[in-house]
């Protein structure tokens, strides 16, 4: 039996991948994987041996919420400090290997939309559609700022821009599964597009390919 189709959406921090990917999934009735949440969960769970933490994560995604060891951690997962720590841990090959099977298990019928940094290059190299979503550094810092403030978190725009830049550089420079477009990815710059426009573009590309 042919495996379920995958739409891979990769890109730098705050490029809008999460919002776009979850809406595309909803429109198609597909499953949704936010792979960054797994790296954030390893960071949040802590421990001296991140690869062991990754292998043993007790995590559940349910009703748009994330549970770690049966506790609702949806909000604490989103802090910028956890994002930075996640990106440090994500450079470890053993952590990435420990999370691979968990990510691939999301591939179920009728299909999956997965967002992250290496969905198209490493985790789902045979994805039906690969999108590399970018946006200018200013647009991304603004978006993340708004996201944090809207959720009641504290945020400082200048510090946030610096953190995002540092995190993207680390993600792009690492040896294992660096942030980069797959050779067969379609690049979309979302700086001047609304979320709906990006979603429509992705759906159109997907339909053309199927
Ligand atoms: O996407 P998000 O910002 O939540 O991801 C947090 C961090 O997890 C990223 O900065 C990146 O280092 C790491 N990550 C990764 N590979 C993925 C998803 C996230 O390395 N597929």
In this structure, the residue with its CA closest to atom 3 of ligand 1 is 13
Average pLDDT over residues 21-50: 97
Strands 112-116 and 129-134: unpaired
pLDDT-derived band at 153, boundaries 50, 70, 90? confident
Residues 48-105 pLDDT 10s: 999 999 999 999 999 889 999 999 999 999 888 899 899 999 999 999 999 999 999 9
CA separation for the pair 34, 170 (Å, rounded): 20
What are the angstrom distances between the C-alpha of 110 and each of 4, 7, 20?
6, 12, 19
| Domain regions of the chain by residue span | 6-209
CA separation for the pair 82, 46 (Å, rounded): 10
Ligand 1 centre distance from Cα of residue 179 (Å): 9
Residues 14-25 pLDDT 10s: 999 999 999 999
pLDDT for residue 168 is more than 70: yes
CA separation for the pair 122, 83 (Å, rounded): 21
Is the torsion defined by CA of 84, 148, 124, 9 positive or negative? negative
Neighbours of 49 (CB within 10 A): 11
Q: What share of the chain is helix, strand, coil (3-state, %, to 5)?
A: 50, 15, 35
CA separation for the pair 36, 14 (Å, rounded): 11
Identify which of 69, 49, 50 has the alpha carbon closest to the alpha carbon of residue 59: 69
Looking at residue 1, what is its pLDDT? 63
Task: Calculate Rg over the CA atoms of the chain.
Answer: 16
Average pLDDT over residues 34-47: 97
83 CB near ligand 1 (under 6 Å): yes
13 CB near ligand 1 (under 6 Å): yes
Average pLDDT over residues 126-144: 95
133 CB near ligand 1 (under 6 Å): no
Looking at residue 2, what is its pLDDT? 78
Looking at residue 132, what is its pLDDT? 98
Tokens of 204: 């159109």
12 CB near ligand 1 (under 6 Å): no
pLDDT for residue 152 is more than 70: yes
Looking at residue 121, what is its pLDDT? 97
Identify which of 127, 133, 114 has the alpha carbon closest to the alpha carbon of residue 33: 114
Looking at residue 93, what is its pLDDT? 97
CB 21 within 8 Å of CB 114: yes
pLDDT-derived band at 114, boundaries 50, 70, 90? very high
pLDDT for residue 10 is more than 70: yes
pLDDT for residue 145 is more than 90: yes
Q: Which CATH class, in words, describes the domain spanning 6-209? A: alpha beta
């Amino acid at each position: 039996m042919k495996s379920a189709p995958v739409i891979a959406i990769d890109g730098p921090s705050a490029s809008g991948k999460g919002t776009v990917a979850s809406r595309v999934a909803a429109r198609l009735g597909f499953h949704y994987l936010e792979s960054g949440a797994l790296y954030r969960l390893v960071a949040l769970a802590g421990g001296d041996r991140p690869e062991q933490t990754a292998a043993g994560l007790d995590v559940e995604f349910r009703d748009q919420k994330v549970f770690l060891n049966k506790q609702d951690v949806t909000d604490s997962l989103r802090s910028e400090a956890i994002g930075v720590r996640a990106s440090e841990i994500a450079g470890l090959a053993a952590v990435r290997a420990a999370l691979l099977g968990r990510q691939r298990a999301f591939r179920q019928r009728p299909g999956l939309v997965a967002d992250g940094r290496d969905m198209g290059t490493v985790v789902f190299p045979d994805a039906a559609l690969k999108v590399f979503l970018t946006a200018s550094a200013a647009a991304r810092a603004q978006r993340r700022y708004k996201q944090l403030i809207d959720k009641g978190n504290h945020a400082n725009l200048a510090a946030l821009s610096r953190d995002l830049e540092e995190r993207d550089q680390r993600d792009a420079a690492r040896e294992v599964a660096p942030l980069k477009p797959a050779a067969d990815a379609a690049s979309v710059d979302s700086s001047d597009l609304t979320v709906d426009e990006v979603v429509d573009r992705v759906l159109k590309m997907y339909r053309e390919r199927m």
